[in-house]
Amino acid sequence: MSFNHFRLNKKPFYLHKLKKKLCLFTLSAAIFSSAFAADTAYVQAASLDELTQAMENRKTLPIQSNEIENWPAGPQIGAESAIVMEANTGTILYSKNIHEQLYPASTTKILTCLIAAENSSLDEMVTFSRNAVFSIPRGSSNMGMDEGQSITMEECLYGILIGSANEVANAVAEHVGGSIEGFAEMMNEKAKELGCTDSHFVNANGLHDDDHYTSAYDLATIARAFYKNELLAKISGMPSYHFEPTATQPDDFILRTHHKIVNNEYPCEGIIGGKTGYTDNSRQTLVSCAERNGMKLICVIMKEESPKQFTDTVDLFQYGFSNFEIVNVSENETNYDINNADFFQTDNDIFGNSKPVLSLNKDSYIVLPKTAVFQDTQSSISYDVESDSQIAKIDYTYNGVYVGNATVDIALNTESSYDFDTSIEGTASDAPEADSEDPQENVIFVNVKRVLSFILIVAGILILLFVVKSVIQNYSFAKRRRSRLRRKSRRKNRMRSQYKDFDF
């Protein structure tokens, strides 16, 4: 029987065994407890005072985002490192030591679940090995799984994200990566793929290892990918989950989240979900996501003291939603038109008004302080795009801070411009409302340099072919003409030789 059997919320029928052992232990320990009680209380008080003082000292650390010109000032918090990032654009609204390498604890598990979701199906059965169950320390977060038991991958995700179950993270790592070490390699590869620069992972659950570290920036970057997965986002926002008995897992129990914003102990409007973490080395860590008015924010807190990781997060979400807003690019952009050296604009073809071949993506937006306007931004254009449906990307900054981008997309509408309405019943007043839209809706952005280069190359090839064809034709014609003249001359000579004895 494993130590996991002593989890009271899962297997209460083992409690009487535990009580007997505790009684014997209590009697033997009582003799010594009074002698050390005062010293223990003193040490704990001293430690608490030290932790509190360290937290207060961290409040004096510089907040880099507060140093940006005309940028809203963010709150002073006791965390060593913190970030608020807009999930869709990657815009950083608040930054405090965001690249400092710290221990993530169980917030590691958002990467574990992201990789598991991308490399398995939800109905796959995950079997628990002896190593997965017994390699975690006694007293660490678990949900009491036993060696040889099996649950689905979907149930594993619930166990990891809601119960922070370390043995479940181990089992998933072995199932997906072949081993915990193999899965750690997948974690490091995925982190690099996502753009992380400060991380190194050695396990799937975040239990302390000196070589297992990350940063607030990297955790926020991982969370951006995590919260694009609807199922993962949903699970991370559930306050509890009920596990029912199955043929391969015989127990009935309920897991409850440790995230006190998710369970509404610390209310926060628009909360989507999150993941907690704690070890003695990492202190309190927290990753959270919330959405209001179309803006989705990710907040990461690292090295804080309980319960400040929750209050810090609520304060930072309030800071972000109160001081920033999203601004649609296509509704405000005026620089990239006929007056720009690289582009030209048109809104008509030979058949009349038609949809553009190229246009700014109407869903692209940037994030700005509410005190700023779109015209305060600076932009730069790049043709290094990943999608075949895009031709260019425009990056925007505000006082040197990246605030988002917009793509110039190729129209995917295959409706022909040559389809004419043959109906004779309609009148001018029956015309579709789209015909009266702002002409800016039909702006076409084209790279003139590329177009001209293409035209010149094609023209050069055509001219070369024409010249070659003319030379060949002239040469052939001249050769045939000389042949005809020689044949004609020979015929005349033969005729003269035949009639030279006759006098005409």
45 CB burial (10 A radius; 0-12, 13-18, 19+): exposed
Q: Residue 174: what residue type?
A: E
Q: Is 106 marked active-site?
A: yes
* Angle value at C-alpha 122, between 116 and 123, nearest 5 degrees: 130
Residue with tokens 């700023």: 372
Q: Residue 438: what residue type?
A: D
251 CB burial (10 A radius; 0-12, 13-18, 19+): middle
Instruction: Please provide the DSSP assignment of 363-401 as one string.
Output: T-EEEEETT--GGG-EEEEE---S-TTEEEEEEEEETTE
Counted residue by residue, the chain has a size of 504
Count of CB atoms within 10 A of residue 349's CB? 14
Distance separating alpha carbons of residues 454 and 462, to the nearest angstrom: 12
Q: Which one of the listed residues 109, 275, 303, 308 is annotated catalytic?
A: 109
Helix (H, G, I), strand (E, B) or coil at 324: strand
Q: Which one of the listed residues 81, 106, 199, 359 is annotated catalytic?
A: 106
- Which of 213, 365, 358, 354 shows the shortest CA–CA distance to 295? 365
Q: Is 489 marked active-site?
A: no
* Phi/psi of residue 388, nearest 5 degrees: -70, -20
Helix (H, G, I), strand (E, B) or coil at 474: helix
Strand residue runs (E) in 259-320: 271-279, 283-292, 295-304
* Phi/psi of residue 500, nearest 5 degrees: -75, -15
Distance separating alpha carbons of residues 238 and 258, to the nearest angstrom: 11
Distance separating alpha carbons of residues 374 and 450, to the nearest angstrom: 29
Q: Which one of the listed residues 120, 164, 288, 354 is annotated catalytic?
A: 164
Q: Is 164 marked active-site?
A: yes
List residues with catalytic annotation.
Answer: 106, 109, 164
